[in-house]
Amino acid sequence: MPDWNNDTFDDIDQLFARLPTVEPPASLKRNVLSSLSAPYIASSAAKPAARRKIFVQGLLTPRGWQWLAIMTGIIFFAGSIWLGSSLDSSGFLSLLGEISGNLGSLGSSSYDYGSALFGAAPWAELAVTLVSLVLFMMASSITIDVKAQKPINFDQAMLRKR
């Protein structure tokens, strides 16, 4: 019973506290479970071989997304090393270090520094690395999501218990 002297209870709380409890109909659980879609409820009589493969976004099987994540992870690793060596050999890192050392002159000649950085950037290596990173993140996320989607098995004994 709630404490009626406490200010946290308002009129609505008092009305709900006085309502009698009502038991739900016996067929409510059966009606809710029968309205769920078939992939989420598998009967215990269904054979495991009869289950359909889950296709994510209609493109690949879960195993295909897993292989795509592995391959793009390897490409991202190699592309990162390639990008790092290209940044060093093109003079981009030394130019960036020189800019950070002369921050006072950055305001007066920011266009010159920006055009020099833009010209020294290895764009092909950067594009390969960023595309492989995006593909790796997408494929690994889909792989994790597919692994988490397991169909729920309900049998008649479980339904009768509840």
Provide the pLDDT confidence category of residue 74 given band limits of 50, 70 and 90: very high
Residue 17 domain-assigned?
yes
152 has which bridge partners? 41
Number of domains in the chain: 2
CA distance 62 to 39: 16
Residue 57 domain-assigned?
no
Per-residue pLDDT, averaged over 141-156, amounts to 66
- Asked if 69 and 143 sit in the same domain, the reply is yes
- Asked if 78 and 134 sit in the same domain, the reply is yes
- Asked if 157 and 140 sit in the same domain, the reply is no
C-alpha 147, offset from chain centre: 12
Q: For the ranges 36-45, 96-105, 106-115, which has the lowest average pLDDT?
A: 36-45
- Asked if 137 and 68 sit in the same domain, the reply is yes
Spell out a b/e string for 48-62, using b for 16 or more CB atoms within 10 Å of the CB, else e. Answer: eeeeeeeebeeebeb
Per-residue pLDDT, averaged over 122-145, amounts to 90
- Range ranked top by mean pLDDT from 17-31, 64-78, 91-105: 64-78
- Asked if 157 and 126 sit in the same domain, the reply is no
Question: For residue 50, what pLDDT is reported?
Answer: 39
- Side chain identity, residue 137: M
Question: For residue 102, what pLDDT is reported?
Answer: 75
Structural contact between residues 150 and 107, judged by C-beta atoms closer than 8 angstroms: no
- Asked if 32 and 81 sit in the same domain, the reply is no
Residue 143 domain-assigned?
yes
The yes-or-no verdict on residue 153 having pLDDT over 90 is no
Provide the pLDDT confidence category of residue 54 given band limits of 50, 70 and 90: very low
Q: Where are the beta strands (DSSP E) in 26-116?
A: 41-42
- Asked if 38 and 26 sit in the same domain, the reply is yes
Residue 91 domain-assigned?
yes
- Asked if 38 and 102 sit in the same domain, the reply is no
Question: For residue 55, what pLDDT is reported?
Answer: 45
Tell which phi-psi region holds residue 69, choosing left (phi > 0), alpha (psi between -120 and 50) or beta. Answer: alpha
- 6, two tokens: 């406490």
Backbone angles phi, psi at 153, to 5 degrees: -100, 120
Residues 6+ apart with CB under 8 A from 58: none
Whole-number average pLDDT of the chain: 75
Structural contact between residues 24 and 119, judged by C-beta atoms closer than 8 angstroms: no
Residue 133 domain-assigned?
yes
38: containing domain? 11-47+152-161
- Condensed to tens digits (0 to 9), the pLDDT of residues 20-43 reads 888 888 888 888 777 776 555 555
Provide the pLDDT confidence category of residue 151 given band limits of 50, 70 and 90: low
Residue 54 domain-assigned?
no
- Asked if 72 and 33 sit in the same domain, the reply is no
Residue 67 domain-assigned?
yes
